[in-house]
Amino acid sequence: MLSWQKIYDLAIPADSGSIAINRFFPATEVHVLKKVVLLAIPGVAPFEFGVICEVFGIDRTDMGGAAFDFTIATAEPGPVPTSLGYDITIPYGLEVAADADLIAVPAHNISGVDERFLQVIRDAEARGAWVLSVCSGAFVLAQAGILEGRRAATHWMHADRLAAEYPGTTVDPDVLFVEDRRVITSAGTASGIDAALHLVRKELGASVANVIARRMVVPPQRDGGQSQYIDTPIPAYKSDSFASVTQWMLDNLSQDLTVDQLARKALMSSRTFARRFRADTGTTPAAWLNRQRIIRAQQILEKTDRDLEAVAQETGFGTAAVMRHHFVKVLQTTPTAYRRAFGSLLAG
């Protein structure tokens, strides 16, 4: 097991300046995501509650994943009513949250929340811990005051209400989740999976996140936003219409893939392909390819010692400089910093 100081040293390569420090750990304290506390607020929505349990509550070390110190806590231990009318029994009080690395807040009936929950959230944000909400759980974070001056997401049905009731928060109704200074808010229901996997990927690396995704039988990372799910005319083609093309893209990431080439593969005109691809996936072919190349590069950096030029060639970035540009833009770190942190952590 690596010491905290060793982990800290590995995360700060000479070529990345302050990026790696801010990217992997807060400025005041070294954190590695380990202790997770899920708040059971009366009126909690079972699915969103279960999402957090599924991501953080299962020991997956036998598959190369992680085992979190996971606890469910509530203000008054005992029966807690859910939004569907049945109770869940929670034996732990909020004192267990005092040193949590992550406080998770699932969806619940939007209403006033016990001040004790709000103080736990405030304390977590103040000490630099992660805070994550799913769906309408963003209203709890807003009531706690930690969304003031931050960007946030919630279910598209509630986005206008959140913006109106908390004008100091910039609500983005079109994204699956928002991360803003260690506070993550996700949109409706299943986007909580996306947000939770994003946090795991950011703290522990793509391989650990992929283990969880594989066990949950979900994509390790979705592109697009919740605008895909707001009422719009249903397209005539099916959601799996690009399955063979996207698989071919994944199999040929090292190649210089153009829209014209992909359109021919899909037996469409370039304009039709681009339009339908965006409708089907929520993003452009170029953006989708870029994201997949980053994910593939993360996996190679974690598992091998191949030099950066070879990794860039294999993933389709062409050169290490181009790959570095995309890493900094999307992940806010460099390939070197990513390898030194996650490759070393996994090896240790």
Domain boundary among 170, 201, 216: 216
pLDDT score of 249 more than 70: yes
Average pLDDT over residues 296-310: 91
pLDDT at residue 241, rounded to an integer: 62
Residue 224 or residue 328, greater confidence: 328
Distance CA 30, CA 308 (A): 27
Write the CATH number for 108: 3.40.50.880
Distance CA 308, CA 303 (A): 13
Average pLDDT over residues 154-176: 92
pLDDT at residue 4, rounded to an integer: 29
Confidence of residue 197 (pLDDT cuts 50, 70, 90): very high
Domain that holds residue 188: 35-216
Residue 268 in any domain: the answer is yes
On average, the pLDDT of the chain sits at: 83
Write the CATH number for 251: 1.10.10.60
98 and 212 assigned to the same domain: yes
Pick from 12, 56, 57: nearest CA to 30: 12
286 and 201 assigned to the same domain: no
Residue 230 in any domain: the answer is no
pLDDT at residue 344, rounded to an integer: 53
Percent of the chain with pLDDT over 70: 83
pLDDT at residue 69, rounded to an integer: 97
Which pair of tokens denotes residue 339?
A: 């390898």
70 and 195 assigned to the same domain: yes
Which runs of consecutive H residues, i.e. helices, occur in the chain? 4-10, 19-24, 46-56, 115-126, 138-144, 159-165, 191-204, 206-216, 243-251, 259-265, 270-281, 285-303, 308-315, 320-331, 335-338, 344-347
Tell me: the pLDDT tens digits for 20-44?
Answer: 323 333 333 434 799 999 999 999 9
Least confident of 218-232, 252-266, 281-295: 218-232
212 and 248 assigned to the same domain: no
Residue 227 in any domain: the answer is no
Residue 13 in any domain: the answer is no
pLDDT at residue 222, rounded to an integer: 62
48 and 178 assigned to the same domain: yes
Residue 7 in any domain: the answer is no
160 and 257 assigned to the same domain: no
pLDDT at residue 99, rounded to an integer: 97
pLDDT at residue 348, rounded to an integer: 46
Distance CA 88, CA 271 (A): 52
pLDDT at residue 47, rounded to an integer: 94
Distance CA 71, CA 88 (A): 14
Tell me: the pLDDT tens digits for 10-20?
Answer: 333 333 332 33
Domain boundary among 216, 249, 267: 216
pLDDT score of 78 more than 50: yes
Confidence of residue 283 (pLDDT cuts 50, 70, 90): confident
Residue 26 in any domain: the answer is no
Confidence of residue 240 (pLDDT cuts 50, 70, 90): low
Residue 27 in any domain: the answer is no
204 and 303 assigned to the same domain: no
Which pair of tokens denotes residue 5?
A: 């100081």
Average pLDDT over residues 164-187: 92
What is the pTM (predicted TM-score) of this model? 0.64
70 and 205 assigned to the same domain: yes
39 and 118 assigned to the same domain: yes
pLDDT at residue 113, rounded to an integer: 95
89 and 196 assigned to the same domain: yes
Confidence of residue 339 (pLDDT cuts 50, 70, 90): confident
pLDDT at residue 93, rounded to an integer: 98
pLDDT score of 330 more than 90: no
Q: What is the DSSP letter of 177?
A: E
82 and 189 assigned to the same domain: yes
Confidence of residue 71 (pLDDT cuts 50, 70, 90): very high
pLDDT at residue 243, rounded to an integer: 78
Residue 149 in any domain: the answer is yes
pLDDT score of 45 more than 60: yes
Number of domains in the chain: 2
Pairing of the two strands 87-90 and 78-81: antiparallel
Residue 278 or residue 134, greater confidence: 134
206 and 252 assigned to the same domain: no
Domain boundary among 159, 181, 216: 216
